[in-house]
Amino acid sequence: MNSPVTTEWISVPTAGGASFDAYLAKPPAGKGPGLVLFQEIFGVNAHIRGVAEQYALDGFVVLAPDVFWRLAPRVELGYEGADRQRGIALAKQLDAGAVAADTVAAAAALRARPEVGGGKVGAIGYCMGGRLAFGAAAGAGVDAAVAYYGGGIHDQLDRAAAIACPVQFHYAGRDDNIPPAAVEKVRVAMQGKAAELHLYPGAQHGFNCWARASYDAASAALAHGRSLQFLSALLF
């Protein structure tokens, strides 16, 4: 049986005249609100494409931009060993200003798609992508954002003042990369805003990824349900 989701790689123009590739997944209805999906350090790999298709099945028009396009276009990495080290190295080489501009370009390109028709656009991301989704809430004009175990958000909380849209955070309770003190900093910084923060006590970093050893099906299912409830209320 063929999937009711249709997918393709498209080209997204930048303000500087260049362009980057992004994976587009369209829902069975052919149209819906937009959702920019930000990758982990492992590229727009099979898992991220699977997540794009998952949210497309839920009714969203999903765009997953190739964040590493300036360094290693369309790179796809695994989660251990040399691949993991390469992903870390690529992430460290990213230019924050350029990535912020790409985030704006991706959100604008998605909103302009005929399948979205100028409707609402949200952002969602995992790990590095969670931080980028947080950045999209601060600077890309999205209507809602969801950040899964966003590494480094607690070091960018000066951007919280610029956030006007609702934001949902998901954190693992046993995350070696994001200690409880960092999660608490995020909670405190977002007080008074339309924000919610969910903690998964037994889960580890990367719990949503079914291709990783840290995958936790129960936590992933609960988080996905919460994300859908949040996004559907705000974007449809």
Domains of the chain: 6-235 (3.40.50.1820)
Tell me the DSSP string of the chain: ---S-EEEEEEEE-TTS-EEEEEEEE-TTS---EEEEE--TTBS-HHHHHHHHHHHHTT-EEEEE-TTTTTSTT-B--SSHHHHHHHHHHHHH--HHHHHHHHHHHHHHHHHSTTTTT--EEEEEETHHHHHHHHHHHHS--SEEEEES-TTGGG-GGGGGG--S-EEEEEEEE-SSS-HHHHHHHHHHTTTSSEEEEEEEEEETTTT-TTSTT--HHHHHHHHHHHHHHHHHHH-
pLDDT digits (tens, 9 = 90+) for 172-197: 999 999 999 999 999 999 999 999 99
pLDDT digits (tens, 9 = 90+) for 9-63: 999 999 889 999 999 999 999 999 999 999 999 999 999 999 999 999 999 999 9
Q: Give catalytic residue positions.
A: 127, 175, 205
